[in-house]
Amino acid sequence: MLKNLTQHFGQDGLAPTDPSHRSLGLGGTTALWLGANVVVTTILTGMLLVPDLTFINAMLIVLIGSGLGILPLVLVGLMGQRTGLTTMVLARGSYGPLGAKLPSLVNLLTLLAWSWIQALLAGMSLNYAVEHLTGYSNLALFTILCETLVLLIALRGHLGIERVESWAAVGMLLLCGAVFYAMGQHFEFSALIDMAPQSRNEITPGIAFDIVIATAFSWIPLAADYNRNCRSQGVAAVGTWLGYVAATLLAMGLGATVSGFSVLSGQEQTYDPAVLLSGFGFGLPAAIVVFLSVMTTNVMCVYSASLSYLNISPKTAFWKPALAIGVLSILGSQIPGILDNFQSFLLIIGSVFIPAFAVLIADYFLIHRAHYDVDDLLSEDGGRYRYLAGINPAAFAAYALGAALAYYWGWVSPLSFGASLPVFLLTAASYSVLRRWVLVPKAQLA
């Protein structure tokens, strides 16, 4: 019976996607990344920016930060499209087959944390909608129901996710438009634009830029997992950039607008935009936006976390880690106070992922000149990517330097213009030097 049931699950794995089976066109890719990032966590990020910054300054930082921050994600997505491999399998090329298990584990744990936060937020929005319509309220129950639905979709694999994302993206665009229209009927946008900055969350322009960059970088581990299914490199690059930047402007713009209007009207700021919008009678559509956005994004988190586990234990069937991670997401969403340190969580992600993927991108595009041998990457011993006992010391040395700089410039002595881009560039440069001339002999270069 179990065997018959699992036949309906996705059969996704680490093997390269066959070019004839790549189903994502430009519209689908754009919808995928738009649906992924019109999410309540991105809305919440926009809420952090205002009123510490003026609305115009906040949106300018969002535009520049997302436009630049998405470029590494685009590059990793191109690596996936070229090779047909997942992100963490590609990490074997730079970290070695054994070394790549560490970023896989870190990514798995990070995506679990994301899923906890998003499951709770989905539960909050669904609970609000049901309570609005019926008067019944049970946050724990609705959070569990939301994450159970996420698990069922994730078990269908990437084809199920692609179908859900396309429809959800259209629905979220329509609902977001309705929410903005409703706000325009109750408030003057000119008052929001003219509102003077007020210190609430200790957000400076440099911190805001770092948070926007960190939001983009938080998606990098998922890039190749999905873009390996794109029909062409052009589709992968253009669709990803358009979908992500448009979604970030829309979601963070919505968050900044709601936060600004709540301050102007004397309402208390909250983690739940639906509650804020209910102050002028539009909480239910906002709750539906939040619900749809979190569901689509959380499905992607559970799916990619499962692929990260497969890179640690390649012989496991896809449905087993997907089921386990889905159950852990349900349990984790019940942890009290998981939203309290959301801003710090974003900055930690930047510290962890920015140097890690600077190494991966530099290795592929600069050291190996945009070519990996797929058979060697998938072999048990790693082939030419075995390095020293399965670990590339240059990668870990450069990563350690980048992580130290990210911590120092992000927490100890923050840079006025943010640490993200300097850390990314310095990590990539240091890895290129170490890889070529210090820690790995030239004879091992592909």
The residues with which 230 forms a beta bridge, in sequence order, are 24
- How many whole angstroms separate alpha carbon 6 and alpha carbon 422? 47
Long-range contact list for 277-284, CB < 8 A, 24+ apart?
277/179, 277/182, 277/183, 278/128, 278/132, 280/182, 280/183, 280/186, 280/187, 281/182, 281/186, 282/179, 282/182, 282/183, 283/128, 283/132, 284/128, 284/129, 284/132, 284/133
Total number of domains in the chain? 1
What are the pLDDT tens digits along the chain (446 aa)?
444 445 545 556 788 988 777 878 999 899 889 877 877 778 878 888 998 999 999 999 999 999 999 999 999 999 999 999 999 999 999 999 999 999 998 888 888 887 887 788 788 878 877 887 788 999 888 888 888 888 887 777 666 566 666 666 677 677 777 777 777 777 788 888 988 888 887 888 888 888 898 788 878 888 999 999 999 999 999 999 999 999 999 989 988 988 888 888 776 655 455 555 555 455 666 677 677 777 777 888 888 889 999 999 988 888 888 888 888 888 887 777 666 665 566 556 667 778 999 999 999 999 999 999 999 999 988 888 999 889 999 999 999 999 999 888 877 887 777 788 899 999 999 999 999 887 765 435 44
Q: Is residue 180 part of a domain?
A: yes
Q: What is the pTM of this model?
A: 0.85
Q: Is residue 288 part of a domain?
A: yes
Helix H segments across 38-138? 40-49, 55-83, 87-95, 101-134
Q: Is residue 368 part of a domain?
A: no
pLDDT, residue 246, reads 93
What CATH number is associated with residue 325? 1.10.4160.10
pLDDT, residue 275, reads 57
pLDDT, residue 93, reads 94
Q: Is residue 163 part of a domain?
A: yes
Cα 306 from chain centre: 15
pLDDT tens per residue, range 200-214: 878 888 888 888 987
Cα–Cα distance list, 247 to 111, 226, 243, 279, 384 (Å): 20, 17, 6, 25, 40
Tokens found for residue 231: 């029909």
Task: Domain of residue 191: give its range.
Answer: 21-349
Q: Is residue 76 part of a domain?
A: yes
pLDDT, residue 443, reads 37
pLDDT, residue 11, reads 59
Q: Is residue 150 part of a domain?
A: yes
pLDDT, residue 346, reads 58
Q: Is residue 215 part of a domain?
A: yes
pLDDT, residue 9, reads 54
pLDDT tens per residue, range 135-148: 899 988 888 888 88
Q: Is residue 403 part of a domain?
A: no
